[in-house]
């Protein structure tokens, strides 16, 4: 096994007299992709800063292989010292790095390079910071919440780009699908200590539950009921997992029912006529359209939302998802068409700005409104302590001022207060922003147990798969199309992710008036940055691969190698096969681009 590029041993750090990290380990080998997981406030970001060398530990050892390059993506990047995004990205390049890659990455992330850092939005700053750390292709990438403020197209592009890199990576993210797709090992930071599993995040929750169940058994043996109760509050070990299995089955049944309903159009129409008075119809949109400054946001959309439906709205930033929600809920009038709301609707909205909280009020006062010690849930009174436990708060936190809560705890409190209000229509605009994995689990439970109707906007693919019965997808130019099922079902039906499909254009009019001297369409364009980059760098890359092939062939030239060391012989053969395949692909790509260049210049 190759020696690690980065090694942290016995790391400890104390903030304000309270130990944050007591005994943490982290090892990163060449090409390895590990995820760092743990609750909000457990010290994940701090441990990553120690790995990056920007924070010094109170105790422990940090080792980085001499010559290895490390790039760290902070949650809040600082671009203030640079005149443009291009200058910021180029500042991260080393002497031997490819300058084309800076422009290529900015282009892929939707930036021109001319943007002034002072005027960037949070999402644009995050994209520039990603280009800054990716451009040098470092040996080690340390990424803290890389998907924050990114829309789905950017998340899917980033996922693909990271998979193509040879860099070792340590990832912190609340995006389950992102972690499942990229991670090969999992490091769990819990109560100041790390545990490691040599498998990706997809296996983490089952492994975590096994560990906590073992601890729970030990706690009972020792009579440590309080510690056992604290663990249940943290993770809701066995019972929660079993409930989630049941919920998943219910969701699949709901999606099947939704598909059947859409197929039986006549039956639905008759039942709707009878159901309007009983509140079965929640929202009916007929041919609605909305545009701003000539730009279509919604074009000729017809949609019915019935009681109990869970509708997810997805699309790139700027597609008009929030505007669409406002149209469907009657906040905005459409330019054309009409929206009809069902009878007896009681709507609760949790928007991207979230509800304000009084920092001086206690947790209990926030939930009860300062009236008594009970919360009214679904017409039934529940003691505030019991309701707090549902949202992972301990009884001791009832008198805790809101102002001292962590960000994740404040998010849970806002959700608890919103869901305590009587409603039969829940509208959630980006509810997963800045939530940790445990709070996402909790929100999923609340939505799946909710008896009313849900409309939500989210960029979290896994969350959509776990909660919605159908998705409404932006197809571009104001067109929206509904698909039964979650995000993965939509991709299977649509054949692609959330990037808007191009409008097909009729070629017949062009064929009726051909231009005699018309050049081929390929001659009307230029090589893209990506193509120019590949054309320039591939010859050097092919030479490097050929040198590696020669070295492996020298090893295999030893006639006694197989008899002396069969394992080394097999490894050399596998390496040779991979290198030859890579060389063939590079040669084919270079030849294709060279022919295209000659055609364009000719």
Among 352, 350, 279, smallest CA distance to 309 is for 279
Runs of H (alpha helix) within 66-149? 85-90, 100-108, 122-134
Q: Determine if residue 247 is labeled as part of a ligand binding site.
A: no
DSSP assignment string, 295-324: EEEEEEEEEEEETT-EEEEE--TTS-HHHH
CA 24 to CA 253: how far, in whole Å? 44
- φ/ψ region of 21 (left if φ > 0, alpha if ψ in -120 to 50, else beta) reads beta
H or E element in which residue 564 lies:
helix 561-564
- Known binding residue 321? Answer is yes
Whose CA is closest to 431, among 545, 547, 325, 585?
325
**Is 44 annotated as contributing to ligand binding?**
yes
What's 8's DSSP letter?
E
317 among annotated binding-site residues:
yes
The answer on whether 386 is annotated among ligand-binding residues is no
Helix axes 237-263, 225-235, angle to 10 degrees: 20
221 marked as part of a ligand binding site: no
322 marked as part of a ligand binding site = yes
SS3 44: helix
Annotated binding-site residue? 84: no
Q: Is 45 assigned to a binding site?
A: yes
**Is 42 annotated to bind ligand?**
yes
**Residue among 48, 220, 56, 229 at smallest CA distance from 143:** 48
Pull the structure tokens for residue 396.
């001791």
CA distances from 538 to 98, 194, 357, 571, 586 (A): 12, 42, 56, 26, 7
d(CA 225, CA 220): 6
Closest CA to 167 of 189, 185, 142, 193: 142
- Is 250 annotated for ligand binding? no
239: left (phi over 0), alpha (psi -120 to 50) or beta: alpha
Q: Is 167 a known ligand-binding residue?
A: no
**HEC secondary structure over 437-474:** HHHHHHHHHHHHHCCCEEEEECCCHHHHHHHCCEEEEE
- Do residues 37 and 186 touch, judged by C-beta distance below 8 A? yes
**Closest CA relative to residue 265, chosen from 238, 304, 313, 307:** 304
How does strand 140-144 pair with strand 70-73? parallel
Asked whether residue 326 is marked as a ligand-binding residue, the answer is: no
Binding residues for ATP: 38-45, 315-322
Binding residues: 38-45, 315-322
């Amino acid at each position: 096994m190759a020696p690690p590029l980065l090694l942290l041993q016995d790391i400890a750090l104390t903030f304000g007299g309270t130990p944050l990290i007591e005994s943490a380990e982290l090892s990163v080998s060449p090409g390895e992709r590990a995820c760092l997981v743990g609750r909000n406030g457990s010290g994940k970001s701090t441990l990553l800063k120690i790995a990056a060398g920007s924070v010094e530990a109170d105790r422990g050892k940090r080792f980085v292989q001499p010559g290895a390059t490390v790039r760290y993506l902070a949650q809040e990047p600082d671009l203030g010292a640079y005149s443009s995004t291009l200058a910021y990205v180029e500042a991260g390049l080393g002497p031997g790095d490819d300058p084309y890659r800076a422009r290529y990455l900015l282009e892929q992330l939707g930036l021109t390079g001319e943007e002034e850092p002072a005027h960037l939005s949070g999402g644009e700053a995050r994209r520039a910071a990603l280009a800054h750390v990716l451009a040098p292709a470092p040996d080690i990438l340390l990424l803290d919440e890389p998907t924050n403020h990114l829309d789905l197209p950017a998340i899917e592009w980033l996922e693909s780009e990271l998979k193509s890199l040879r860099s070792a990576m340590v990832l912190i993210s609340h995006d389950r699908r992102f972690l499942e797709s990229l991670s090969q090992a999992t490091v769990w930071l819990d109560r100041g200590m790390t545990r490691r599993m040599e498998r990706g995040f997809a296996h983490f929750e089952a492994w975590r539950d096994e560990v906590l169940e073992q601890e729970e058994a030990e706690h009972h043996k020792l009579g440590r009921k309080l510690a056992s109760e604290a663990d249940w509050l943290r993770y809701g070990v066995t019972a929660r997992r079993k409930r989630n299995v049941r919920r998943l089955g219910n969701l699949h049944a709901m999606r099947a029912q939704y598909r059947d309903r859409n197929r039986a159009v006549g039956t639905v129409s008759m039942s709707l006529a009878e159901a309007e008075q009983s509140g079965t119809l929640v929202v009916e949109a007929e041919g609605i359209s909305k545009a701003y400054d000539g730009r279509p946001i919604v074009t000729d959309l017809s949609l019915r939302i019935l009681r109990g439906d869970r509708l997810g709205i997805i699309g790139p930033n700027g597609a008009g998802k929030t505007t669409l929600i406002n149209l469907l809920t009657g906040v905005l009038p459409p330019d054309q068409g009409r929206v009809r709301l069902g009878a007896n609707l009681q709507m609760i909205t949790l928007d991207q700005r979230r509800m304000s909280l009084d920092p001086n009020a206690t947790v209990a006062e926030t939930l009860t409104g300062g009236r008594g010690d009970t919360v009214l849930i679904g017409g039934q009174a529940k003691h505030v302590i019991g309701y707090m436990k549902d949202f992972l708060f301990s009884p001791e936190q009832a008198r805790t001022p809101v102002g001292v809560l962590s960000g994740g705890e404040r998010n849970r409190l806002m959700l608890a207060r919103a869901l305590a209000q009587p409603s039969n229509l829940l509208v959630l605009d980006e509810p997963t922003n800045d939530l940790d994995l445990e709070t996402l689990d909790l929100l999923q439970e609340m939505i799946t147990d909710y008896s009313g109707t849900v409309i939500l906007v989210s960029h979290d693919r896994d969350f959509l798969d776990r909660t919605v019965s159908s998705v409404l997808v932006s197809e571009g130019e104001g067109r929206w199309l509904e698909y039964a099922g979650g995000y993965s079902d939509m991709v299977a039906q649509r054949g692609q992710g959330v990037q808007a499909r191009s409008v097909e254009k009729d070629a017949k009019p062009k064929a009726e008036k051909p231009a005699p001297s018309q050049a081929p369409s390929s001659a009307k364009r230029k090589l893209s940055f990506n193509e120019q980059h590949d054309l320039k760098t591939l010859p050097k890359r092919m030479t490097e691969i050929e040198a590696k092939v020669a070295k492996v062939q020298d090893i295999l030239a030893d006639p006694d190698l197989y008899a002396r060391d069969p394992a080394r012989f097999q490894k050399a053969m596998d390496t040779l096969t991979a290198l030859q395949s890579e060389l063939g692909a590079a040669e084919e790509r270079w030849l294709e681009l060279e022919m295209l260049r000659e055609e364009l210049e000719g």
